[in-house]
Amino acid sequence: MKRIIALTLIAFAAFGIIMFTAAFGASAPTEQVIRVTAKKFEFSPGEITVKKGEPVLLELTAEDVRHGFSLPDFGIRADIKPGVINRVKFTPDKAGRFDFTCDVFCGSGHEDMSGTLVVTE
């Protein structure tokens, strides 16, 4: 009897996962995933190109020490720590070239650690 109950629960759980994925996963808008790596004293890539109105998922990670990612024109900032992927979602609502910078002081080249987000129409 216990075995039947357990199997039933597993079946319900599996059904739930399938339904959840169908309801939410499949309908989620496609987003451009961009992996950005920070290390003293540069971002890679240093220039990121995205399209206006299309969702973007930044996957931020650091290779050496703690850094920051600051993109003030879109109100975005995040800490970037070694061994951790920090995901930041946003949808650019204006076209142009926008600076992003490291805002966690990381050493003698910190002031040079910046990049550009290019948003095309």
Partner 1 sequence: MSKIDRRDFMKIAGIGGLIFASGLGFNALGSNHSGGGKRAKDDFYFVQLSDTHWGFDGPAVNPDSKGTLKKAVAAVNSLEEQPDFIVFTGDLTHTTEDRRVRRERMAEFRDIVSGLKAKTVHFMAGEHDASLDRGEAYQEFFGKLNYTFDHKGVHFIVLDNVSDPAAVIGETQLKWLQDDLKKQKHDAPIVVLTHRPLFGLYPQWDWATRDASAVINALMPYKNVTVFYGHIHQEHHFMTGHIAHHAAKSLMFPLPAPGSAPKRVPIPWDASAPYKGLGFRQVEAAARKAHYEITEFPVTKG
| One character per residue 79-98, x = contact with partner 1 (rule: CB under 8 A) | x-------------------
CB neighbours (10 Å) of residue 34?
Answer: 16
Residue of 59, 45, 51, 48 lying closest to 89 (CA atoms): 59
Q: Could you give the CA distance from residue 40 to residue 106 in angstroms, rounded to a whole number?
A: 7
**CA–CA dist 45, 25 (Å, integer):** 28
Q: Which is nearer to partner 1, 54 or 74 (CB)?
A: 74
**Binding pattern to partner 1, positions 16-55, x when CB under 8 A?**
----------------------------------------
What would the two tokens of residue 64 be? 């050496």
Q: How far is the CB of 67 from partner 1 (least distance, A)?
A: 10
Q: Which stretch binds partner 1 (CB under 8 A): 9-17, 31-39, 48-56, 99-107?
A: 99-107
Structure tokens at 111: 């002031």
**Which residues are near partner 1 by CB under 8 A?**
66, 68, 70, 72-73, 79, 99, 101-108, 110-112, 114
